[in-house]
Amino acid sequence: MKKYMRIEMVTGQQFEAEWARTFNPADKEIVIRLANRPGKKLVPLSRVCCILMPEPPLIDLESSEKDSYLIVETVTGKSYSVRSIQGHQGRDGFFAAPTDKDSPYKMIYFTRDGVISRRNDVPVGQILEHQGVLSQEALKKALAEQQRLKKQNLGEIISREQHLEQDTIDEIVAQGQKNVKSGKWLRVGDILVEAGLITREQVKMALASQEEGKKKKIGQLLIELGLVTEGQVLAALAAKFHLPFIDLSQIEPDQRALAAFSPDLIMQLRVFPVADRGEYLEVATSRPTDLNISNTLRFHTNRRIELVTATSEQIENCIAKYYEAYDDQLQQMVDNLSEDDDNQENGEENTPADSDSETIRLANKILIDAYLQGASDIHLEPGPPKYPLGIRYRIDGICKTIQMLPSHFAKPLLSRIKILASMDIAEHRKAQSGKIMLRFQGKKVEYRLEVTPTVGGNEDAVLRVLAASKPMVLEEMGLSPDNLLGLKELVVKPYGIILCVGPTGSGKTTTLHAALGYINKPERKIWTVEDPVEITQAGLRQVEVKAKQGFTFHEALRSLLRADPDVVMIGEMRDREAAHTAVEASLTGHLVFSTLHTNSAAETVTRLIEMGEDPFNLADALLGVLAQRLARSLCPLCKEAYQPTTEEYELLRKFYGPEAFAAHGYGDQHESLHLMRRHGCPECGGSGYKGRIAVHELLICTDLVRQTIKSGSSVQMIQQAAVGEGMRTLRMDGIAKVLAGMTDFEQVKRVCL
């Protein structure tokens, strides 16, 4: 009969399977065949709790003196008694052998995500004795005291705490029991209260002392008896639970770690955030034996928690020093609301009345945390009744769940955000738009808020984070040498229209400002009209649209065209009227830059024609179209080289275009080709990606392309003409950057059609 291994997921789900590929924890995934089912299944190790194997995967099970016996607690609530295997303790998990000789499994692999705690099956006293900080006689003394506390009766405690003779208490209790006619045994406390010796409150205090004495751990007793210090006990507990023991006085916590927890939670648990390692949050505690700490922190942050140990004195000092300062920093976001022209004109006041409110602090934390992490958007997503409120940030183009808050936070938190954006908090049936203007650490930060009614009487809120930034130079935009040269030749033309196209958040405005920076000279008068102005640079005259006041794109454009411009940049051509005005301006001697939401350079041309532009005028006016996407780039610190398989190479070749692949010089590289793949490190949060890289296609209006446009050709024909004239498509540019080791194929596929 075939022996299958058992795989337990972090969700508690279990299934039997066999290996379909040799197991290597460094792969961060396993490939298996489910029992009695055809086909292979790929499972990320991050979703696995543990793997129980009937046969070890090429690992020596012979016991060594260094092997230790462990109790492993998993996120599924199970406890395993195992023997660790020295030399097989990895960064992402560890191997162990069950101590039960009758177990059908010979080996267990525990993943890092699946383990709450692992502790040596050795008492703390023995560890202290082994470390040489405690004598055998002192340990015996403490153990004897522990047994005495467990067995002490209530009379002994009352005698000690109330300074009464033990003989007197014994005599009164004995007499009280004799006087009972019913034969029932009376409680000691009741007899002493009835005799007027003590009060009910004193009995309660004595019972609490009795219960506390029974639960008192050996480490606490050793400290109280003056036999060891708290630091020595914690060092022993750290060794027992396989946790680092750190000196908090030598550590500077990062802001992201501090922002990950509410002050109330920190005060309640008496812990201190040390670092945000991306994959997990590192938190210091002086109570490593309390498993509820890790569970509570994980629930409130929806992040994996890794505990380290530190003395309670250091933790208290750090909470006082850093958390009070950080709370002040959070409050400063609201206290220093930007007094911009809009707020001055409207007489709006966004400063909160109650700075101590938990909801206010939570709203502040969400706003500042998104800004510090470089998020482009914040999503507040309430669920059905009793379901948690989801908080997601979009970072590097990917939505990431940051927190899952209890449902009772949903309505007050959304009301707080509405108040900051000067919205109607009583309106729940209609969509609302607004903005929050803040100044933090000397920088202006704007949040554009959109509130949308959703099912169940809820409202979703999405905030776009718009931090004022400086322009980049064209050479920093990630353009290929050919595209960079071509774009530079276009932007120095005296008139015509240049478009930058792509989806929302693809960096179009950044690219246009880089192009404007290239031609920003005293002899040129450059106007921009934007909504909002995200990037400012000296030498430009910049106008911000205010639709509520009737100052639209079209109105602003009409005004600045009468203001003697050489160059005009329109933030977005949103309608037919704005597009027509832009084309007319380019035909009358102005150089016009603008953006459009289209999927490709060729599609942009047909979109403008569909909006009513004359093909002949458009062909004459258009200088070029730069389409772009943003793909996640590989982390430069941890990416690793590898040689692709034949299948991978053929996939790249097919995606690029077989004929163009060979024509552009990539056809004979398979044997010598090395690509880069993600690995994961603390710097990139374990994802293997850090930052983004742009992928472009530049359509230049040559004579052939102009003739194709004038003939009313389709998107495919325009693209074919442009490729024939030297344009490389988004796919081609993306694959070129994969071959250059900047990103991987997975990311290029994600952003390119």
**What distance in Å separates the CA atoms of residue 114 and residue 96, rounded to the nearest whole number?**
14
398 phi/psi in degrees, rounded to 5: -115, 130
Quick one: pLDDT band at residue 705, thresholds 50, 70, 90? very high
pLDDT for res 114: 87
Please name the fold of domain 474-751.
Answer: Rossmann fold (3.40.50)
234: confidence class by pLDDT, cuts 50, 70, 90? confident
pLDDT at 38 (0 to 100): 79
Rg (CA), the chain: 34
Torsion angle of C-alpha atoms 600, 603, 607, 610, degrees rounded to 10: -170
pLDDT value, residue 370: 86
Residue 99 has a pLDDT of: 87
HSE on the CB side for 733, CA within 13 Å?
30
Report d(CA 156, CA 166) in Å as an integer. 7
Local structure of 96: helix, strand or coil: strand
442: helix, strand or coil: coil
Q: Return the pLDDT at 469.
A: 64
Furthest CA-CA distance within the chain: 118
DSSP 368-387: HHHHHTT-SEEEEE--STTS
CA atoms of 18 and 31, how far apart (whole Å): 9
Q: Is 466 helix (H, G, I), strand (E, B) or coil?
A: strand
Residue with tokens 């459009």: 596
In this prediction, residue 188 carries a pLDDT of: 65
Round to whole Å and give the CA distance between 159 and 164.
Answer: 5
The pLDDT value recorded for residue 344 is 39
Q: What is residue 314's three-state secondary structure?
A: helix
Sort 344 into a burial class: Cβ within 10 Å, 0-12 / 13-18 / 19+: exposed
pLDDT in tens, 87-113: 566 677 888 888 888 888 988 999 988
Contacts of 737 (CB under 8 A, 6+ apart): 478, 631, 693, 695, 743, 748
The SS3 assignment for 59 reads coil
Residue 354 has pLDDT above 50, yes or no: no
Beta strands 540-544 and 526-530: pairing type?
A: parallel
Tell whether the model's pLDDT for residue 430 goes beyond 80: yes
Angle (CA) 198 180 202, round 5°: 15
Predicted confidence (pLDDT) at residue 553 exceeds the cutoff of 80? no
At residue 184, the pLDDT reads 56
% of the chain beyond a pLDDT of 90: 20
- Report DSSP letters for 130-174, one per residue: HTTSS-HHHHHHHHHHHHHHHH--HHHHHHHHTT--HHHHHHHHH
Query: Where exactly are the structural domains of the chain?
Result: 5-121, 125-176+183-224, 241-332, 336-467, 474-751
Query: Helices 481-491 & 508-519, crossing angle to 10 degrees?
Result: 60
Q: Domain 336-467 carries which CATH code?
A: 3.30.450.90
Here the tokens at position 51 are: 């793997």
Of 170, 166, 212, 164, give the one whose Cα is nearest residue 191.
Answer: 170
Residue 62 has pLDDT above 70, yes or no: no
Query: What homologous superfamily is domain 241-332 in, according to CATH?
Result: Type II secretion system, protein E, N-terminal domain (3.30.300.160)
pTM: 0.53
Which single residue is written with the structure tokens 């933090």? 440
**CA-CA distance, 604 to 187, in Å (whole number)?**
89
The answer to whether 748 and 632 are in contact (CB under 8 A) is no
Task: Round to whole Å and give the CA distance between 489 and 510.
Answer: 19
Query: 680 near 279, Cβ under 8 Å?
Result: yes
Q: How far apart are the first and last CA of the chain?
A: 49
664: helix, coil or strand? Answer: coil
Helix (H, G, I), strand (E, B) or coil at 48: strand
**Integer Cα distance of 27 and 688 in angstroms:** 13
Task: Assign 301 to helix, strand or coil.
Answer: helix
Q: What angle do CA 150, 156, 162 make, to 5 degrees?
A: 130
Does 144 score more than 90 pLDDT? no
CA distance 514 to 536: 11
Per-residue pLDDT averaged across 54-67, rounded? 58
Q: How confident is the model at residue 240 (pLDDT cuts 50, 70, 90)?
A: confident
| C-alpha–C-alpha distance, residues 275 and 244, integer Å | 14
The span from the CA of 55 to the CA of 19, in Å, is: 11
pLDDT digits (tens, 9 = 90+) for 453-473: 998 888 999 999 886 667 788
